[in-house]
Chains A and B, each alone.
Chain A
């Protein structure tokens, strides 16, 4: 692990705005937008992405597929107030099932970072995950189901 672990991984600094961009002299907008909208365009350039995970590139829990479906558990819903920053955003966003990749895109976070954070939250029981079954991709029945579904598109 080559990242430098910050003192507190849950507080990766407030630098949402890249400080050295031209035109960055005007201060960031004072009111914080809703958590899900504040990064429609990824702007984490000033931070090394894995800073958000304390430099870890794999989570304490399972290594998730990028298409694995994530949904907040009752525990997650009940305790979301206790979570900070990105983890709280993830728990709020995943009230309806979402894939890991979609979660990353909606939050404007790097996919590897979200995998680590989601893996942590799954290990803690805040999120439940539905992972694609091994062998699903070569299951003829599944493929035919997808074929029929696509053929219905017109």
Chain B
């Protein structure tokens, strides 16, 4: 009944003194299991990372195909949530989410309106970040690939990683240490710098050249972006 209402803009909220809500912005932290998403969020968040859960709705059930278990219409996924107050009027949220495509039902919610995304990769299990990269490429959300230096050493050359991921040369590939606050800060700054470049039109190379794919090194994502309900 009320669904046509226009979104409230930055207007003072009833209540006044000290209860004015900051404008929220967000960055998505994506990557496979165990690549350090929770550590990353925890390293920089000013609150202890909260974990919240989401359940697939029957609407999303069509997108998150449950395949061999047709009766299954609920999937639970845990999200890591952190925040950084930029100033009283602006608050940055960090959402850490599993990158597996079976959690894809949350991705439209997470990425709609995000400034950008940090895709954390473990070079020993590079394939775990393919779905996230595929998705962010498809919805054209600026993202940076960050290699978590688990033991301070990089197992592969950055150029090799870039080649294996088949990403455009404009997309930064960086290394960072998820346990280190300043390192995480710099990784987020890399995302923001990239997002700013994209937004300010420095990088509007469209139609963009098809990335060079080597065989089927990047299996396609099961979720068709055109299927998702927020796609305009």
A interface residues (Cβ-Cβ under 8 A, vs B): 1-3, 42, 48-50, 57, 60-63, 65-75, 77, 95-97, 99, 101-102, 104-106, 110-113, 123, 128-134, 136-140, 142-151, 153-154
Contact between chains at A73 and B58 (CB < 8 Å): no
Contact between chains at A132 and B23 (CB < 8 Å): yes
Q: Give Cα distance in the complex from A106 to B3, angstroms.
A: 27
Contacting residues, chain A, for B23 (C-beta < 8 A): 69, 130, 132-133, 136
Q: Is B2 an interface residue (CB 8 A)?
A: yes
Contacting residues, chain B, for A60 (C-beta < 8 A): 1-2
Contact between chains at A146 and B192 (CB < 8 Å): yes
Nearest first, the 3 closest Cβ-Cβ pairs linking A and B are: A149-B86, A105-B50, A69-B21
Q: Give Cα distance in the complex from A147 to B192, angstroms.
A: 7
Q: Give Cα distance in the complex from A61 to B53, angstroms.
A: 22
Q: List 18 A-B contacts (CB under 8 A).
A: A42-B53, A57-B57, A65-B24, A75-B14, A96-B19, A102-B81, A112-B57, A134-B7, A137-B115, A139-B199, A143-B195, A143-B199, A145-B90, A146-B25, A147-B189, A148-B86, A150-B192, A151-B189
Contact between chains at B185 and A132 (CB < 8 Å): no
Contact between chains at B13 and A130 (CB < 8 Å): yes
- Contact (A144, B8) CB under 8 Å given A71-B13, A150-B189: no
**Chain B facing A: main interface SS:** mixed
Contact between chains at B54 and A102 (CB < 8 Å): no
Q: Give Cα distance in the complex from A133 to B112, angstroms.
A: 11
Contacting residues, chain B, for A134 (C-beta < 8 A): 7, 113
Q: A62 → chain B, closest Cβ, in Å?
A: 6
The chain A residue sitting closest to B181, CB to CB, is: A153
Additional A-B contacts beyond A99-B93, A151-B189 (16; CB < 8 A): A61-B2, A61-B3, A65-B109, A71-B15, A110-B54, A111-B54, A123-B1, A128-B13, A132-B25, A136-B25, A139-B199, A142-B90, A146-B86, A146-B92, A150-B188, A153-B182
Q: A73 → chain B, closest Cβ, in Å?
A: 5
Contact between chains at B52 and A104 (CB < 8 Å): yes
Q: Give Cα distance in the complex from A110 to B51, angstroms.
A: 10
Within 8 A of A (CB), among B187-206: 188-189, 192-193, 195-196, 198-200
Q: Which of B9, B14, B87, B114 gathers the greatest number of chain A CB atoms within 10 Å?
A: B14
Question: Contacting A143 at CB < 8 Å: which of B5, B24, B185, B196?
Answer: B196
Contact between chains at B24 and A62 (CB < 8 Å): no
Contact between chains at A131 and B8 (CB < 8 Å): yes
Q: Give Cα distance in the complex from A154 to B92, angstroms.
A: 16
Contact between chains at A105 and B24 (CB < 8 Å): no
Contacting residues, chain B, for A75 (C-beta < 8 A): 14
Q: Which of B24, B58, B188, B200 gathers the greatest number of chain A CB atoms within 10 Å?
A: B24
Q: Give Cα distance in the complex from A72 to B199, angstroms.
A: 35
Q: A120 → chain B, closest Cβ, in Å?
A: 10
